[in-house]
Structure 1
Amino acid sequence: MIIFQNGLLTLDYEPSTDILFVEWPDIQAFVMPEIKQALQILVDHIKNYDIKRLLIDASKTNLEVQTEEYTVLLKEFGTNLMTTRLEKLARIQTGSGSRENSVQQARKETQFTVRLENFTNKEEALDWLKQKKEPLFT
């Protein structure tokens, strides 16, 4: 079910699996304030619906900003995500090495605590999100 939609984001939530799906927006310098606001709306919906699993599809996203500016945006988003009760984040990655490096750099710099895995397709990402927590001890 669509729980939010604007020109940048559509938040599609499946209550039975507790998975929120979002296609990552195109990032352009002239709309950075709107992008930041849209990502805050995403975080607010994760909090309000107490969502535990998030699937971000970044595979088709166009990036038209400097790598450093994108890393700052990701760090802010990651920090905000850690204020939620989100447990797992699956990300469908891009084919861009520099963008993937930005994601990894932001993850390290924020000391991101949410379980994050990158995938090349939606089916694998959904399978991982649907898995129950692995036991700490066997």
Structure 2
Amino acid sequence: MSDLQPRHPSPERGLDVTALTLDAGGRRVVAGVDLHVDPGECLGIVGESGSGKSLTLRGIAGLISSPLRLASGTVTIDGAEGARGRRGAREGVSMVFQDPAAALDPLIRVGSQIAAVRRRVRGRTAVDARRDAIDLLGPCTCQSPTC
């Protein structure tokens, strides 16, 4: 998680996370996360199971409870520091919690899973659903948008 590179903040401020570090039960579970999200932008964090995605977002949203502890770092939302429990600073920050029943299967290509949903929910043909998946994955940094 710590390989996320901060971008240059916009004048509207947005979300800035600097050196976010979380401990749990005497162990470091998130180390030195830096990121910036401009107002109106969305950020998706992806990674392996157990890599600290949910813990990082809990730290950003201020949803920290024992044994999780903010060891260091700052979370600033529209110029107000928000990681240490200031509810007002966290308004406008949302987190979509994991639902294992709705999660992507790591053993099936993500494009195939997206296409399957497009076929079932939108009634798309197999060809159109695959094209939709490729279009949706285009902005991502997949090595191959056909995934």
Shorter-normalised TM-score: what interval? under 0.3
Larger radius of gyration: 2
TM-score, structure 2 as length reference: 0.27
Instruction: Indicate the structure whose relative CO is greater, using CA pairs within 8 Å and at least 6 residues apart.
Output: 1
Is the helix fraction higher in 1 or 2? Answer: 1
TM-score, structure 1 as length reference: 0.28
